[in-house]
Structure 1
Amino acid sequence: MIAPAWPPSAAPGPGPGGSRAVRHARLSWPLSPVPVITKYFDAPETPFGPGHRGVDLAAVPGQDVLAADAGVVVFAGLVGGRPVLSVDHDGGLRTTYEPVAAKVAVGEQVYRGQVLGTVLAGHPGCAVAACLHWGVRRGEEYVDPLALTGEAGEYRLKPWGGGR
């Protein structure tokens, strides 16, 4: 059985006339127009294990990075020598963006779609001119950002208990 990566709150549901429509997404895209995904989320098997704790989005250097939802900037600085920006949102979500030249400061309230900064070139492993790494945590757990946009991430085969 193939299971989509979206949570039930964002999953398509029956709409008028029995059609299926996507409900309001929890987060909006941090780039406009909707970017090409160059690397998908890959949850680590253990808290410190290998994985990809976000998605990489194709961008151009200097492109605006947009707040995925209303929140408060909680970090704007260097992590491992790379410029990172983090925003806390209602419901225990934290979005992180890198590499970004910040245009907002720690403690600043931001609104959904507000320009947070601009994409910088130099994200490791990026196959295009620039990539924005976009990560999301709920508490201490990393989650697939695509699941919160109403988009399906990569599909994964799940065991089906029907057994034949």
Structure 2
Amino acid sequence: MVVLLFSPGAAVTRTPESSDLDFDWPTGGPVAVLRAFDLPAQRWQSGHRGVDLEAGAGSPVRGAGAGRVAFAGKVGGKPVVALEHAGGLRTTYEPVQALVSVGDVIARGDLIGELLPGHCEGASCLHWGAKYGTGRNEQYIDPLLLLQPLRYRLVPDRD
């Protein structure tokens, strides 16, 4: 098993596949973080399961990493694009008018949509999320950690 350490004390298991683990800003370059990741202590509690990145309405939104479009539509009335990446990682982007369709394969940095207004109060922003698993097995991670260089560490099996 390979454990990827993103920051001290935070480990996520993935299987590396060449450059599929390379990620970049979905805004095309570094921007201000208007609201940081804030994972609640319990899954049912409120928190902020992503980051809000400063960007103007109409700005291009790019796939942060290589993957496949898993969803492009509305969730709770909000337009969302979700990408599946290597190792079971899924990234989400909202509010985004999709320029891609479910099943499309994209490279890191490919245009996936256009930012719509309406997420941040008093400003335009892109909400960018990242998680592993689904349902009760969801594990949200701070998507900004994807931008840091990966450090690999082998750990022994725990049978």
Same fold, judged at TM 0.5 (above) = yes
% identical equivalent positions: 47
RMSD: 1.8
Question: TM-score, normalised on structure 2?
Answer: 0.76
Q: CA deviation at 1:127?
A: 3.4
1:104 paired with 2:96, answer no
Q: Which runs of 4+ in 1 moved over 4 A?
A: none
1:148 paired with 2:146, answer yes
Alignment of 1:90-129 (within 5 A): 90-123=86-119, 125-128=120-123
AA at the equivalent of 2:103: G
1:133 paired with 2:130, answer no
What stretches of structure 1 of length at least 5 have no aligned partner? 9-24, 152-164
Aligned to 1:7: 7
Q: CA deviation at 1:7?
A: 3.3
Secondary structure of residue in 1 paired with 2:7:
coil
Q: CA deviation at 1:35?
A: 1.2
| Counterparts of 1:33 and 1:148, CA distance in 2 | 14
Question: TM-score, normalised on structure 1?
Answer: 0.74
Question: Which one has a bigger Cα radius of gyration?
Answer: 1
Partner residue of 1:48 out of 41, 44, 48: 44
Count of residues in correspondence between the two structures: 129
| Counterparts of 2:22 and 2:106, CA distance in 1 | 16
What stretches of structure 2 of length at least 5 have no aligned partner? 9-20, 150-159
